[in-house]
A and B are shown apart, each in its own frame.
Chain A
């Protein structure tokens, strides 16, 4: 008998062999994988019934079937037994009505914890009871009195379950199917919000297949009942690769196969990519939903949307500065993500960044800037390692920001737009929005202006988004956002986003009007959103510039208004943070001017006005915008270190030559 048992077990194990350990088959399986004729003899059965008469009879019957039987009159004891000796049983026979525990509950426990086939028994053979059993997951339902023939067949449930598990394992692909698990844990990639999203999405997945996922989760090191597949860890780099590949293909056209080819990562299977892509898409959807809430959503929405967004943004911003920061980034991120079709993670990152920004002990201005910056950062971060840039950029912002406040948000907006043509536009819009928002946040007055700006900005193509694509230069990518930081913020953003600046630094940004730093650094981003400074955006930049120009006009008008409101408030929409490096000048502009402006603006509204006017004039001609940007760019560059006086100039250059001059004059006055 014993030997027979062993043989049986080995035979049984062989059937399980494919699945490596069904229910934790013990080592008895050993090597031989031959299903002997003895099977199903040796099947290890656990019988649970409060009726000892019944128990005895069943035991006898099962012995006759040449099964290995363990009886237990109490359900709780049986459960403990199962937990202790996980691999010792193949199937469980349980009575339905038991005094200490309901049979169905036991059934559930076993299913969740051990995933063994459970067969219910009862004298009650009503359909209702049987249905209940099935619903709880019972493999079979026997009606007492039980006949021996019925018991002879219970092995089929064991085999069936094992084979099903094997099949599932095979289907899930070579690399693990738990990249979901991983994704959930990849906070870095998606940022907190994203993570939450993914986590939640993962969780249901986990719960769904208890046996599979649960086991994988639980029995990580041991032999899970289901064969384990190596997990794919979606590291940040890998994810970025993925994102860039997706962006390259276009979110709509991104198919796992092509993504896989583009990524060219050894060991990665199409299934991994497919599931990752699915998650990513869900994330994007989620973000866009969030963004919409923030009012920013739909980056591409055009002016109309922009307005709406602005409004929403404004409100958001105004309320809590910190919050504002978050919102813009998020929206920006969302926008970015959407635009770029990037992994939502980026958005998240952006968002996180904003949060970060806020967290960072920046000066008041920082906060605002933070928003923008944060946002941008997020964007950037999400993109890839460039996130660091943001942080860095943020830092400087702080310095500068001292005076500037909420600028950043504005900046961001502008920065965004500059991004890659299509996408970036969205982003840019987003950025603008953000910026606007931020601006709004910063100052109630600004708000209005910001909104206006936003509007204009929104119109602008969201350029900045693009940067994200180029992950490398990513910094700027999102940077359009940074644009807003007219004040200090913009500076940082701009710098980081230099990318954008190079392009066209969107004079529009400049136009944004250097919001007085002090006052409100409402980086009137005027949606200049520097054309995606990113290389890809280069082309778009030109377009963008045009857009910017047009936008600028709009923005300028807006800014104009804003400026009016704000004393000497220059909404320098730091455009563009084009992180792509070129923006630097833009940054400078933003920052500088702001600083100065802020300083000077305090008392003078004029400059702003001038600027506005200037902008407007500039705006009228797209070329102006371009020129403007150039001017600004150059100016900005020079300025970075400017002092107030200089800064004013610088800031103004953004506005485009005119304003600076005007500003200067104003200042002098």
Chain B
């Protein structure tokens, strides 16, 4: 594939994510932030985000794996994830976090 094709594919992919609600307006903002002074901004941000999010998700999983889940601890992690995802525009992820938070507030492990 040539570059143009890749780009188009990416664009489409991103577009679809927007439509699905995976990405939201914030992402557009981040995209807009990319300029000549910082050409790889978006990429950097996404990379950062992914790494960070992975870390947090792992923590959350671990917490959930415990018999007695420490919900307050969990809550802080989820909060972090939520913040990051919202900053980057990962809408769905943010929503998922919100749900998780609510469930943890209710001490509902199942949720």
Contact = CB atoms under 8 A, between A and B. Distances in A.
- The finding on whether chains A and B are genuine partners in a shared complex, rather than unrelated, reads yes
Contact of A122 (B26, B53, B83, B84): B83
B37 interface: yes
Contacts of A34: none
Nearest to A1: B37
Nearest to B27: A145
A65 to B, nearest CB: 11
Nearest to A95: B83
B98 to A, nearest CB: 10
B83 A51 contact: yes
Contacts of A54: 83-84, 87
Interface string A44-84: 00000011111011001101100000000000000000000
Centre residue among A63, A144, A148 by max chain B CB count within 10 A: A144
Contacts of B48: 52-53, 56
Interface residues of B, number: 25
Contact of A123 (B35, B83, B89): B83
B29 interface: yes
Interface in B33-71: 33, 35, 37-38, 41, 44-45, 48-49, 52-53
Interface string A136-148: 0000000011111
A50 B33 contact: no
A57 B85 CA distance: 11
Nearest to B26: A145
B87 A147 contact: no
Contacts of A60: 30, 33, 38, 41, 45
Interface string B66-84: 0000000000100110111
A261 interface: no
B15 to A, nearest CB: 20
Contacts of A146: 87
A144 B82 CA distance: 9
Given A60-B38, A64-B33, A145-B89, A53 B79 contact: no
B86 interface: yes
A504 B53 CA distance: 94
A63 B38 contact: yes
B100 interface: no
Contact of A97 (B45, B52, B53, B76): B76
B83 A144 contact: yes
Interface in A356-409: none
Given A57-B88, A144-B86, A145-B87, A97 B80 contact: yes
A100 interface: no
Interface residues of A, number: 21
A56 B84 CA distance: 11
B41 A53 contact: no
B45 A147 contact: no
B60 to A, nearest CB: 15
B87 A144 contact: yes
A237 interface: no
A57 B80 contact: no
B33 A51 contact: no
Nearest to B42: A60
Contacts of A56: 44-45, 48
B52 A52 contact: yes
B86 A57 contact: no
A288 B39 CA distance: 75
A122 B53 CA distance: 17
A67 to B, nearest CB: 13
Most buried by A among B26, B30, B79, B87: B87
B29 to A, nearest CB: 6
A97 B87 contact: no
A124 interface: yes
A75 B105 CA distance: 27
B53 to A, nearest CB: 8
B87 A63 contact: no
B52 A53 contact: yes
A561 to B, nearest CB: 78
Nearest to A124: B79
B83 A57 contact: no
Nearest to B75: A97
Given A56-B45, A57-B45, A60-B33, 6 more contacts: A53-B49, A60-B45, A122-B83, A123-B79, A147-B29, A148-B29
25 contacts: A51-B52, A51-B84, A52-B52, A53-B49, A53-B52, A53-B84, A54-B83, A54-B84, A54-B87, A56-B45, A57-B33, A57-B45, A60-B30, A63-B37, A97-B76, A97-B79, A123-B83, A124-B79, A144-B86, A144-B87, A145-B29, A145-B87, A145-B88, A147-B26, A147-B29
Interface of A: 50-54, 56-57, 60-61, 63-64, 95, 97, 122-124, 144-148
Interface of B: 26, 29-30, 32-33, 35, 37-38, 41, 44-45, 48-49, 52-53, 76, 79-80, 82-84, 86-89
The 3 closest A-B pairs by CB, nearest first: A123-B83, A145-B86, A53-B49
